[in-house]
Amino acid sequence: MSTITKIAFPDPDLLDDVSSRLSESARSALDLRVWSAEHPDSDPADLDAVILPYLGAESTVAKLDEINDLKLVQAQTTGYDVVNHLVGKVTVTTGAGAHAAATAELAVALVLARLRGLDEAACNQLTGTWDHQRRLSLADRKVTLLGVGGIGEEIRRRLEPFEVEITRVGSRAREDEHGTVYGNDDLAEILPNTEVLIIVTPLNEHTEGMVNAEFLAQLPDGALVCNVGRGKIVDTDALLAELESCRLHAALDVVDPEPLPEDHPLWKAPNTLIAPHVGGNTSAFFPRILGILTEQLERIAAGEEPLNKV
């Protein structure tokens, strides 16, 4: 990897927190600065690397062309769709690992809440309505996990104690230490037997709009679609049509568009639970991203291969 010394942080607080954890040798080898769209505190022209903001990274990405010889972009998110166009041109690294546990927690929570009707119970509490129904259990459900990366593995681990039948689908078929990973070519056989679909696959040119009308039509009546990946993986209009017909259920942490406009019909779709893209944004995030960024800078200072390289 080309020599990297001049590295920009998105804000001074993050710079101070990471810098205080660096070894003396790393601090002396690196020129750490603050520069982003929100904090243009230095001239970016001679920067080697940029750490993007956790939220609202798009505005900083739009200004990266002000850097003459950019070598590395570090995202704080697991997904890198905001800088996908830079892959192959510069080194792109992610915050993979910082969000895995928290996003997996939310995926399981969303599935449980929708299956057991906890979202409706919360609304009924406001009106004092006692609505006793027999609901679906997560136990004995056939769950298809679309995405087998770090977050997908954490979801798999958390689902195992719930006595479910898990089918994992990746971009290609293979075997690993947990058994069979099916490929996208196998979905036509898998989807008709899927009662809960959890989407955590990355967003790229192959997955954008992947969950479209044809895809959703293959799911059985009453299936639950849970998306904790990226909103654009799912065709919103196609999903909305299935929800408004009450054929499918949804539990969504990500949607398209984001933020979802207040008058968007998805808000009022039946059988639908929506969270505002908070999967990775928990108390676990900050100490974990600090650890990742600290190790990343130690590696860069030592001339080693970076972590989480795309």
Q: What is the pLDDT of residues 188-217, one digit of tens each?
A: 999 999 999 999 999 999 999 999 999 999
Work out the percent of the chain whose per-residue pLDDT is above 90: 98
Rounded to whole angstroms, the Cα distance separating 82 from 270 reads 31
Rounded to whole angstroms, the Cα distance separating 37 from 155 reads 34
What residues have CB less than 8 Å from 185, skipping those under 6 apart? 173
Rounded to whole angstroms, the Cα distance separating 244 from 246 reads 5
Contact 292, 307 (CB under 8 A): yes
Helix (H, G, I), strand (E, B) or coil at 276: coil
Rounded to whole angstroms, the Cα distance separating 32 from 9 reads 7
By CB atoms closer than 10 A (0-12, 13-18, 19+), residue 266 is buried
Mean pLDDT of the chain: 96
- Given a cut of 70, is residue 1 above it in pLDDT? no
Q: Which tokens sit at 308?
A: 């989480």
Q: Which tokens sit at 247?
A: 């054929």
* C-alpha neighbours within 13 Å on the C-beta side of residue 213: 4
Please give the model's pTM, rounded to 2 decimal places: 0.91
- Given a cut of 90, is residue 2 above it in pLDDT? no
